[in-house]
Amino acid sequence: MPLPNATGVGRPTLRQALGVLQAEGLLDKRHGIGNVVRAPHQRIGYTSTPGLVPTPPASVETEVKVREVPARRSLARLLKVPQGTPLVETVFVSQQRGSTPHSITTTYTPAALLPRDGRHPEPEPCPWGTDTRTRLSAAGTRLALSVERVTARPPTSAEAETLRIALGVPVLSIERATTDTTGRVVEIAYLTLSGDRTEALYTTTH
């Protein structure tokens, strides 16, 4: 039975209600099928140490892409390097097996700080810069401090497409700056987590 007949409301009202449910991430609109109730996702826990902690870890699949890019103005300012400095950009897109992607992680490190062996990082269940920091340590960089800034915001169109969420579903956005023992910024990392399935845990010691 058509929804307008089943619900007793007009098409404009029904269309508006479905739009609200889609914006909140409760419905998926699929071409050729129509509106489908979105299946509940397994919760993803984030903690700053050691990083993204899925349950169970073996269920996470990560796609990794690495390339060298020139430092744009904003990254040059954060890394305190001249604009155009070669950076190694590593992008991790992670998902639980059989589910949709739950996180996008992008890290930037000055290329001069990393070993020139041409090795690409292996996919990691914990993609929050693990490989990059391992390579920095292997090159003699002693990491000292990481500062994270956490915000909630609407996703960009590209993020919504990658995470397969509606533009109305917020994302948890984490920006991290890592410095070495000399105070030099050696990595800037951005983590974007789907807000409808993420919880963050921070522990403070006294």
Lowest model confidence (mean pLDDT) among 5-9, 13-17, 134-138, 177-181: 5-9
CATH class given for the domain over 1-38: mainly alpha
CATH 1.10.10.10 domain residues, the chain: 1-38
pLDDT tens digits along 35-90: 666 655 566 666 665 444 444 455 678 888 889 999 999 999 999 999 999 999 98
Write the CB contacts of 12 (distance below 8 Å, at least 6 apart in sequence).
none
CATH 3.40.1410.10 domain residues, the chain: 40-201
Lowest model confidence (mean pLDDT) among 21-25, 63-67, 190-194: 21-25
- Residue 11 has phi, psi (to 5 degrees) of -60, -40
Torsion-angle region of 98 (φ positive above 0: left; ψ -120 to 50: alpha; else: beta): left
Structure confidence at residue 26 (pLDDT)? 61
Beta strands across the sheet bearing 86-96: 60-70, 86-96, 101-110, 185-194, 171-180, 143-153
Tell if the pTM clears 0.85, that is, is over it: no
Question: What six digits make up the tokens of 190?
Answer: 């951005």
pLDDT tens digits along 32-42: 666 666 655 56
CATH class given for the domain over 40-201: alpha beta
| Separation of alpha carbons 84 and 16, rounded Å | 47
Residue type for position 152: A
